Structure 1
Amino acid sequence: MTHGKSLLMPVLLTAIFGIAICSSSMAQKRGGTLHAPLRDNPPSASVAEETTSSTLVPFMPIFNNLVVFDQLAKKSLPSNIKPDLAEHWKWSDDGKVLTFELAHGVKWHDGVPFTSADVKCTWDTIRGVRDGGWRKNPRKSWYENLKDVVTHGDYEVSFVLDHPQPSLLSFLASGFSPVYPCHVDGQTMRTHPIGTGPFKLVEYRRNREVKLVRNPDYFKKGKPYLDAIEYRVIPNEGTRTLAFVSGQLDMTWADVSLDGEKNIKAQQPDALCDLAALFTLGELIYNPNEVALKDDRLRRAIMLAIDRKALAQVMTQGHAVATGIFMPPPAGSWGLTTEEMKGLPGFDPDVEKNREAARKLMEQMGYSSEHHKQLKLMVVNRPAHVTPATLLADQLRKIFIDVTLDAVDISVWGQRVTRRAGYQFTLWSAAPAIDNPDVILFEQLSCKSSRNYSNYCDSKTQEMIEQQSQIADQEKRLELVHAIDRRIAQQAARPALFTSYLGVCQYPYVKNAVRATNSIYNTYRFEDVWLNK
């Protein structure tokens, strides 16, 4: 199959945040600076080494991918993948080799020409066969099937797989898949990254701001439209809202709740807000080194005690109810509906019936209304995590479990789960890079993944994970993915608690700043964004 497209794309008739805005008939205005917030200080500027949106959002405009999800599309889907540094691509007949023809005349921000060698260096570093000076390599699990990256001259490169894997192209389109320069060391990429993208970094002050300026030599002629982007680090949500409604910011961070939208609209009625069910899933992760939580009865009792509808009411006013480990339809492409989850532990709509079964399991372990199990739940010290954790603690008290919350900074949380030490269990807000089974399964549940924080390893599940990855037929693959989802629920291995319903607000003069709803990581290139003022 061949996919070739011009790099000069027409501006599609689209809607910003699904509300309305700009058509190709409206001439884009050049110039101006976009002012936007960051929720946290970026741990570094190296997109390839980090997992947080606090790095990806401000630094994605510096880079290009081989291919990229359409930046004007409301969903990051395989059908929306566009050329970026690659102009054309083709799969071999056996589905094991994906070959890219690269754009000519592209330069890194320091003037060095971009070639196929940079692509090979990037993915050889990810595969662990080249030392790029990286401290972290969170996407390595995505490419366990990647056998080699082979260059054919300066402008052609092939990805060679051990077995067919249709998801590979989606991996490469993710915002977390930039091409890095061979000639720049890891330390520099963490502090002053060099890319080929529409914007260059001019200032990165920790805990303060990130400033980008237009790349005048960008290979996509005529882009970007903005002169600059300035990101301010504003950790407090109330302060961010105040900065937006007072006109200091042109847009908000992508965590505006329904109550937040109401507050903003009361002060700025013309603000455009778009809220939707997002692929941010609240889950419980058990410390694999915690002996007490290895008891299947305890984990099953916890699964039975969860009232997901009550959590959905608190978290999203009932707009989004969690099911399994994938985002349920219609927002997601691979998840099970609430109806399809019935019959699995904790998904009977009769909550009291579920909890009675949970209490019987607790009684088998020697607990009762007079003798409660004591557990400590680690949670990130943000309202979006503390609120559901508090409600969960109340629900578990009904089955003889007393939960003490341990609220910690996100950096402390990351250190503890990485070491598998310093906590018993934790509420984790998982936001997969893309709505794709391979990303979620290989990264979070594969026996081989360092980001499988619970060390879950089941031979049958592992076999199913690897099998679904090779299936090209969407319906057949979906059937197996659903079977995996049900199996995880039956084992009470990773209880899903809630999904998010959040959004972004912006002023009407901000054009083409589209946020995809099925991933919070893929649409921040901002080469199409312009200001109509």
Structure 2
Amino acid sequence: MNRRDFNKLMLMAGIVGSTGIPLGIRRAAGQSRGGTLDVIIQPEPPVLVAAINQQAPTLTVAGKIYQSLLKFDFDQSPRPALAKSWEMSDDGLTYTFHLEEAVKWHDGTPFTAEDVVFSTTKILPETHARARGNFARCESITAADAHTVVFKLKEPFGPFLQCFEMSSCPIMPKHLYEGTDYRNNPHNAKPIGTGPWKFAEWERGSHIRLVRNDEYYKPGQPYLDEIIYRIVPDAASRALALENGTVDLTQWGDVEMFDVPRLKQLPHVEFTTKGYEFYAPLLWLEFNNRIKPMDDKRFRQAVMHAIDKDFLVRKVLFGLARPATGPMSKATKFYDPKVKIYDFNPAKAIALLDEMGLKPGADGKRAKITYLVPPYGEVWMRFAEYIRQALSKVGIEVVLEAIDVAGWATRVGNWDFEVSAPWLYQFGDPALGVSRTYVSSNIRKGVLFSNTSGYSNPKVDELFAEAAVAVDPAKRQALYSEVQRLLVEEVPVGWLVELDFPTMYDKRFHDLVVSAIGVNDDFDQAWFEG
């Protein structure tokens, strides 16, 4: 089904598209099996393998195919997934996971502890920036038997269990990836996981279809027949699809934020911002600290004073955000509000630029930078346009450059940018989701969501390292407070807002958002009330 056919279909809900996949079909009652969940995914993921790519669209779809050892409740406490139980030694150095024994990969191969060892010692350390740092803390990772894995740490690490959420540690099939070029493995095109949903087809530009895994280890689950992710580049068409019932679920930024106030009032639509607690997404201006004038902290400070965060929250993000104060979200452990605040003050911005020697030319311009716009919808272009307008008032010319998802990931990961505006997840603890952006050991070219800004400060490295292994929460707080104050002074990136993403879905569907990772979870409990 091409995009033209799909847009026509949304105006005539219920007609079968040219692919033969009907929309609007509903079956089943209660939690009996049956039903199709139609979902928007925007933008189209570059790949569906969470070990290879950690961008938001990839994780949303991959979360149905791949699993990790644990899941997390809304309060971020762990509960079983591929691991049915676990224990920690008294000294906090040894974690033993007992795995589910009836799990199979989608090709029928039994899942074993060797898959966990391979994933955490081989593929993830090479392809996943955050997992590399997490599992580098291990002295050894071994399979005690076919269904028991033992992780021995070099020193205590309080948030270790949180390393086993799906996007942080997707378990990969050893028998298909061992000894291969991970990024070019042919199974990347047809992913094989252990999850409740099997990959069926991907028609580029149209849809991704997942079907029920009839050999899923939980008896009777999943309940639905299939999940179809619809790729609809046009923002107005996505909103219309939810409005007329052509699709059942939108998440993250699928619906532009300016449409949310109207759509959430629809009688058939349920609205929630739950399910993002584990991620606590924080959006910032990513400065390439290697390039002038971004290499001078006074320039970065000037940019912070030139931007009105309250305006961004009210007028661009329609209240689905809060102004950020620094590198940690208010929803993250050890957040400290007592940091330097960059108030909206263009006069201060101009004074800092003058101090740098960036005097205005005859055209009033002091500097020129290129802003690589994240390709996640119209709201992010509006966001970029506001940044361009705000900085122009202090003499900084901003050139906006649009790009596709894969291109954006490649450019930022390879440091081929001047300024961009990503949002990164915090994963409940600064040792997991915050430090990775600022420690010099994570400056790794080609790896997205690492320290792509190139910021390096030995004191910051030291504070993050010490805080990660401290046992006393008060000591951790003191260390993290110090590092927050230091970072806010140096502004390696320009923190702007803490995001609240909207999830909207047809009220006839139940148990879609049941954990702290919400729509990225596996949907093995989701059911349709006919």
Q: Which residue of 49, 52, 55 maps to 1:49? A: 52
Counterpart in 1 of 2:418? 424
- Can you give the 5+ residue segments of structure 2 that lack an aligned partner in the other structure? 1-28, 445-449
1:380 partner letter? P
Superposed CA offset, 1:25-66 (max 9, x none)? x95232111111111222112111111121121221122211
The 5 Å alignment of 1:50-449 reads 50-70=53-73, 73=74, 75=75, 77=76, 79=77, 81-126=78-123, 128=125, 139-185=131-177, 186=182, 187-255=185-253, 256=255, 259-265=258-264, 268-275=266-273, 279-318=280-319, 320-328=322-330, 331-337=331-337, 340-341=338-339, 344=340, 346-347=342-343, 351-352=344-345, 355-368=346-359, 371-376=364-369, 377-381=371-375, 382-421=377-416, 423-426=417-420, 428-432=421-425, 434-449=427-442
Shift of 1:369: 5.3
Q: Confirm or deny: 8 A CA contact 2:45 2:405 kept in the other structure.
A: no
Kindly state the Cα deviation for residue 401 of structure 1 after the two structures are TM-superposed.
Answer: 2.1
Q: Over residues 379-417 of structure 1, what are the superposed CA-to-partner deviations in whole Å (9 max), with x where a residue is unaligned? A: 224323222222222322333323222233332222222
Aligned twin of 2:3: none
**Following superposition of structure 1 onto structure 2, how do residues 436-515 of structure 1 map, counting pairs within 5 Å?**
436-449=429-442, 450=444, 451-514=450-513
* Aligned position for 2:25: none
Deviation sequence 1:52-106 (CA, Å, 0-9, x none): 1211212211222111124xx4x5x1x2x11112122111222122111122232
| C-alpha spacing 1:275/1:137, structure 2 compared with 1 (3 Å) | closer
Alignment partners' CA distance in 2, 1:312 and 1:482: 26
Q: Is 2:48–2:188's contact at 8 Å kept on the other side of the alignment? A: yes
Match of 2:527 among 504, 527, 530: 530
Displacement of 1:136 after TM fit? Answer: 6.5
- Give the CA deviation at 1:189: 3.5
* RMSD of aligned alpha carbons: 2.5
Within 2, Cα distance between the matches of 1:241 and 1:304? Answer: 35
Deviation of the 1:489 alpha carbon: 0.7
Distance 1:476 1:291, change over 3 A: same
Shift, 1:138, TM fit:
6.0
Partner of 2:16: none
Name whichever of 381-390 and 239-248 sits farther off: 381-390
Per-residue displacement from partner, 1:254-283 (whole Å, max 9, x unpaired)? 3245532233256x3231112479733221
How many Å separate the matches in 1 of 2:304 and 2:106?
51
Distance 2:325 2:193 in 1: 39
State the SS of the aligned residue for 1:378. Answer: strand
* Structure-1 separation of matches of 2:143 and 2:350: 61
Task: Tell me: CA distance 1:114–1:531, structure 2 relative to 1, closer, same or farther (3 Å).
Answer: same
User: Structure 1 292/524 Cα, relative in aligned 2: closer, same or farther at 3 Å?
Assistant: same
Structure 2 vs 1, CA of residues 226 and 460 (structure 1 numbering), >3 Å: closer, same or farther? same
For residues 512 and 407 of structure 1, the distance between their equivalents in structure 2, rounded to whole angstroms, comes to: 37
Aligned pairs, number: 481
The runs of 5 or more residues in structure 1 that have no matched partner are 1-25, 129-133
CA distance in 2, matches of 1:333, 1:512: 27
CA separation of 1:365 and 1:103: change in aligned 2, threshold 3 A: closer
1-structure distance, mates of 2:295, 2:264: 48
Distance 1:203 1:515, change over 3 A: same
**SS of residue paired to 1:292:** coil
- Matched residues in 2 for 1:515 and 1:334: separation? 25
Q: String of CA shifts for 1:498-526, please: whole Å, max 9, x gaps.
A: 23233011111110011767x57x74200
Of the structure 1 ranges 315-324 and 276-285, higher mean CA displacement relative to structure 2 is found in 276-285
Q: Distance in 2 between matches of 1:431 and 1:221?
A: 36
Deviations 1:406-446 (A, max 9, x none): 2333322222222222x3222x2213162321222342112
* CA 367–126 in structure 1, closer or farther in 2 if over 3 Å, else same: same
1:515/1:332 Cα in 2 relative to 1: closer, same or farther (>3 Å)?
A: farther
Cα pair distance change 1:363/1:414, threshold 3 Å: same
**Residue type of the alignment partner of 2:429:** N
Q: 2:457 is aligned with what amino acid? A: D
